[in-house]
A and B are shown apart, each in its own frame.
Chain A
Amino acid sequence: MRVMFAREAFKPAPGFDFHQLDCATQPGRTPGKSMEYDIIEKVSDIAASDLKLDAKLSEAARVLLRYFPFEQCLLYFEDSGALKLRAEANGQLQAVQAYEKGKGLLWHACEAGVPVEVFKEPDAASWESIEDRGLYGATHALAVPLKGSGRVYGALYFKSAGKGKLSLLKRQMARITALQVVSLIRCSELESRHSRVYDELLQMQQKLVNSEKLLALGDMAATLAHEIRNPLLSIGAYAARLKRQLPPESPGLKYLEQMSADIGRIERIMNGIIRFLKDNAVELKTEDLDSIADEALALFNDEFSAHNIKVERLRAAAMLPILADREQMKIAFDNLIANAIQSMENGGTLFVKTAAFGGFAVARLSDTGGGIDPKYFGYIFNPFFTTKKHGTGLGLPIANSIVMRHKGQLEAGNEGPGAVFTIKIPYAGAQEAASITPANGAA
């Protein structure tokens, strides 16, 4: 067997002109338009086409097979440390699906970084020194690495059972077409990255439009809420006065009671809207997330026992310092706890776990109330979205906006028999330590 390393073999002779070299040998071709020109043009056409990457590669393999004196053209991609078959234009020879790192002629070429051409006499028993099952039945092969910007993308593998040795022009062409394939791959990678970025951009834009809509809606709701509130107060309070003045047997009493109940409901909705819209300013101080959670839970003790809800509290090992507006953070907890209670009106368990995790102080509230219908996941933080009969649809949006004002995240999901809400607030421990150190140093 002879192995020819291409580094020397492919060096063009001085004054070499590949355009004219093989023209004379190609019957039926007009001078000046060589077969090489055709191949380069065809591969360029394929690269510029609307085909998907795999279709482009298969098409390119077919075109290359027509030109090179081989019976099989395989295209391998480097993929997590192995060379994997990605496209093929086939003859009768064996195609190995994948080469582990370092194995076969392909890796040899990739590691050398240059094309490698090998051939053996047809009667020679084996390929000495090269172990490559893909060479079984072949007598002539060419492996061309696909390289660009210092990265190996894969390799082209040509094989044949015939006799032959590539002309200088064909070796030149092997390199040129390999470069074309590399740019085809890179273009396609860029394109898919571009379309991914574009999709992300569209999504972001949609989010922005949504939040602008919410803002506009918010302004309107704030004005409405304020304008409605005073007259509502007046109606409600006068109804209560009237109720006190009517004799106990008066049939009008039950109408007034109904009026008062409904007015109370509207007032609660108004309070929710105003709280959601107006609490934009946060006064941040170093607070302990653990104790905020405890305080918020304590407010619900009566309701927990009324609904037969058990609370399992798992505390963090140490304080969980965060920069927070304590009152607002409690409101966020209130809303999440109220939400959990509403989902477990016939009893259950609320697990409240606090911990430091990955730069965040984390509070995790999970219930056994049946969880969130997955089709609603996209909506639960939208204001006024509710699945409850008398819900305002503001509890979770309020909690979410408060957490966001603390540069944190509120995540919702399902776990076991219920829903789980996770509040993550940046851990203030590190910053605090950093600001204390210089002062200590100075003292």
Chain B
Amino acid sequence: MKKRILVVDDEEGLRLLYKEELEDEGWEVELAASGEESLEKLERDSIDLVLLDIKMPGMDGVEVLRRVKEKWKDLPVILCTAYPHYKHDFGTWASDAYITKSSDLTELKQTVKDILGKRP
């Protein structure tokens, strides 16, 4: 069965982009436009990895990360941000990977492959 990734980003253009690019890589992709929506989807669906934007209106990525890690300790989360050095924030330490947003998606795809490839 295909592994399923949940992409959480408030920008529609980016959600669509990640969906198409990751589907091209052979993954199944679910989308959420906000932190709140992502938590609802996680309750309902079976998800193998979360790709999480940090800066979102309402519940931000750091808060989503905290709640995800409380409830689904082993679910891997990749944080995406515009800031190359967000790691000063303690909340982001719990993520499994951390990538800087770029139009070059090579790093993102490789990180997804590294994390999901290791898991049964």
Contacts and interface: CB of A to CB of B under 8 A. Distances in A.
Nearest to A230: B11
A231 to B, nearest CB: 7
A267 B103 contact: yes
A274 B84 contact: yes
Interface string A232-257: 11111111110000000000000000
Contacts of B14: 230, 233-234
B103 A240 contact: yes
Interface stretch (A8-16, A135-143, A171-179, A275-283): A275-283
B87 to A, nearest CB: 9
B15 to A, nearest CB: 10
B13 interface: yes
Interface residues of A, number: 27
Interface in B1-51: 11, 13-14, 17, 20-21
Contacts of A237: 17, 21, 103-105
Interface string B98-110: 0011111100000
B73 interface: no
Contact of A241 (B21, B84, B88): B21
B101 A233 contact: yes
Contacts of B17: 234, 237-238, 241
Contact of A231 (B13, B20, B84): B13
Contacts of A327: 85
Interface string A201-227: 000000000000000000000000110
Q: Which of B14, B100, B104 has the most CB of A within 10 A?
A: B104
Q: Which of A226, A229, A260, A279 has the most CB of B within 10 A?
A: A229
B82 interface: yes
Q: Is the interface of B mostly helix, strand, loop or mixed?
A: loop
Interface in B54-100: 55, 82-85, 88, 100
A231 B103 CA distance: 10
A279 B101 CA distance: 17
Q: Is the interface of A mostly helix, strand, loop or mixed?
A: helix
Interface string A271-302: 10011001101010000000000000000000
A56 B14 CA distance: 78
Contact of B84 (A238, A264, A271): A271
A185 interface: no
Q: Which of B17, B21, B105 has the most CB of A within 10 A?
A: B17
A316 interface: no
A263 interface: yes
Nearest to B11: A230
A108 B14 CA distance: 91
Contacts of A240: 103-105
A235 B83 contact: no
A271 B105 CA distance: 16
B21 A278 contact: no
A151 to B, nearest CB: 56
A229 B13 CA distance: 13
B104 A236 contact: yes
A230 B10 CA distance: 10
A278 B83 CA distance: 8
A275 B103 contact: no
A230 B81 CA distance: 10
Contact of A278 (B85, B100, B102, B105): B85
Nearest to A270: B82
Given A232-B103, A233-B102, A264-B103, A274 B13 contact: no
Contacts of B85: 275, 278-279, 327
A327 B85 CA distance: 10
B104 A264 contact: yes
B97 to A, nearest CB: 17
A281 B84 CA distance: 13
Q: Which of A237, A241, A260 has the most CB of B within 10 A?
A: A237
Nearest to A239: B103
B20 A241 contact: yes
Contacts of B103: 232-237, 239-240, 260, 263-264, 267
Nearest to B106: A240
Contacts of B83: 274, 278
Q: Which of A225, A226, A239, A240 has the most CB of B within 10 A?
A: A240
Contact of B13 (A226, A234, A275, A278): A234
B101 A229 contact: yes
A167 to B, nearest CB: 84
B21 A234 contact: no
Contacts of B11: 230, 234
Nearest to B10: A230
A283 B89 CA distance: 12
18 contacts: A225-B82, A230-B14, A230-B82, A230-B101, A234-B13, A234-B103, A237-B17, A237-B21, A237-B103, A238-B17, A241-B20, A241-B21, A267-B102, A267-B103, A274-B84, A275-B85, A279-B85, A327-B85
